[in-house]
Amino acid sequence: MVVTVYDVAQATGLSIASVSRALNARPGVSAATSARVMRTAADLGYRPNEVARSLVAKKTQTLALLVPDITNPFFPELVKGVQSVADESDQLLLLLDAPSEPDRLAQRLAALHRKQVDGVILVASELPAATGDVFDGMPGVFLDRAGSGGAPSVHVDQEHAAYLATRHVIQKGHSRIAHIQGPVNLTVSALRRSGWERACNEAGIASGDNRVFPGDFLEAGGHRAMERILDAADGTTAVFAANDLSAIGALACCASRGIRVPHDMSIIGFDGIELARYTSPALTTVAQPIRELGEQACALLLRRIAGEPADDIVLEASISHGGTVREWSGRADESSGGV
């Protein structure tokens, strides 16, 4: 049986108006009366009607998080960060797929607006050049992507992080570094390639199209790209993969070909997913602070909902040393460990 305000009023002998004021911590009832109402409500098992409360407050305490590929291990770690802050703030978090097609994405955001969610965090694969108000009038935050459409973002400088990864390999003595690229239609792929190019150009190392091999941010794409790199037999000694899943596919390809990593080939990834710690050897990668990205995005969205100022937040990436990059002296040997 559902216990109502009427039931609490009957049990206490008070008016419904007095009970409602006590339950909602509004003035007009004494502290003693309020305490009696709260005790009685708890004894009866009364639960407030959140729908009714949301109609009065014009807030549903519901947030939406849209991500492009929940099967990618990067995104569950991101979700954990968002969820932790949502839980602390007593917010319900809805997790939805972010369609890659702009029209479908707009339809999904419009549906969330109709459902009266308080705000949206969006990890979009790609957005059209002229986006306008992407969030359809709702408070919104872009996550893991630079913002647009007047909304702030929480992200890592993708180009600079890729530069750090490539420079790390160069500092280990490698001068023939291939790049396994992400999907060519994504801005994030272009930014990571740009960082690789900048580090190579700065060191006077070749970075032309013949050093770039197409991938798809998945293990299979990384495996195929690594096959092409090995088949080219052009003296490549190191590979910068545009994400960790691509790097893991490249590792598997090397193992199947009898190529020893890092003795014969060094590989560095991008993201810092938990899975990278458990490859053999453990993957060296430029790690994004994944959980912190999610936490900061949710906190930023809550500030936007409250009407507070909200600016972009750019976090730092760092090299996570595994065992797939080693010093290169111009020959393969057994003496050097990975870093």
C-alpha 337/C-alpha 339 separation (Å) is 7
Confidence category of residue 162, pLDDT binned at 50, 70, 90:
very high
Give pLDDT, residue 148: 65
Average pLDDT over the chain reads 88
Taking alpha carbons only, the member of 87, 77, 106, 105 closest to residue 293 is 77
Q: What angle do CA 162, 168, 171 make, to 5 degrees?
A: 140
C-alpha 74/C-alpha 276 separation (Å) is 11
Give pLDDT, residue 335: 42
Q: What would you measure as the largest C-alpha separation in the chain, in angstroms?
A: 89
DSSP code for 316 = P
C-alpha 163/C-alpha 200 separation (Å) is 9
CATH number of 62-156+290-315: 3.40.50.2300
Q: What angle do CA 320, 267, 215 make, to 5 degrees?
A: 110
Could you check whether 5-48 and 62-156+290-315 share the same CATH topology? Answer: no
Taking alpha carbons only, the member of 271, 276, 298, 317 closest to residue 75 is 271
Structure tokens at 213: 């091999």
* Beta pairing partners, 266: 238
Cα–chain center distance at 240: 21
DSSP code for 250 = H
> For 287-313, what is the mean pLDDT?
94
C-alpha 292/C-alpha 318 separation (Å) is 13
Q: Which CATH architecture has domain 5-48?
A: Orthogonal Bundle (1.10)
Judged against a pLDDT cut of 60, whether residue 336 lies above it is answered with: no
C-alpha 95/C-alpha 71 separation (Å) is 13
C-alpha 296/C-alpha 299 separation (Å) is 5
Domain boundaries, the chain: 5-48, 62-156+290-315, 158-288
Give pLDDT, residue 185: 86
Q: What angle do CA 185, 191, 196 make, to 5 degrees?
A: 120
Q: Which residue has the higher pLDDT, 193 or 126?
A: 193
Task: Report the relative pairing of strands 284-287 and 318-320 from DSSP bridges.
Answer: antiparallel
Tell me which long-range contacts 201-209 makes (C-beta under 8 A, separation of at least 24).
202/167, 203/167, 203/170, 203/175, 205/170, 205/175, 205/176, 205/177, 206/176, 207/179
Q: Which residue has the higher pLDDT, 82 or 109?
A: 82
Element (H, E) at 129: none
| CA–CA distances in Å: residue 40 to residues 4, 10, 28, 139, 150 | 12, 10, 18, 38, 49
Judged against a pLDDT cut of 80, whether residue 337 lies above it is answered with: no
Judged against a pLDDT cut of 50, whether residue 57 lies above it is answered with: no
> For 252-280, what is the mean pLDDT?
96
C-alpha 193/C-alpha 166 separation (Å) is 10
C-alpha 241/C-alpha 159 separation (Å) is 13
Q: Which residue has the higher pLDDT, 128 or 266?
A: 266
> For 213-222, what is the mean pLDDT?
96
CATH of 158-288, one of 3.30.300.30, 3.10.180.10, 2.60.40.10, 3.40.50.2300: 3.40.50.2300
Judged against a pLDDT cut of 50, whether residue 55 lies above it is answered with: no
| CA–CA distances in Å: residue 220 to residues 19, 108, 126, 214, 242 | 62, 30, 22, 11, 13
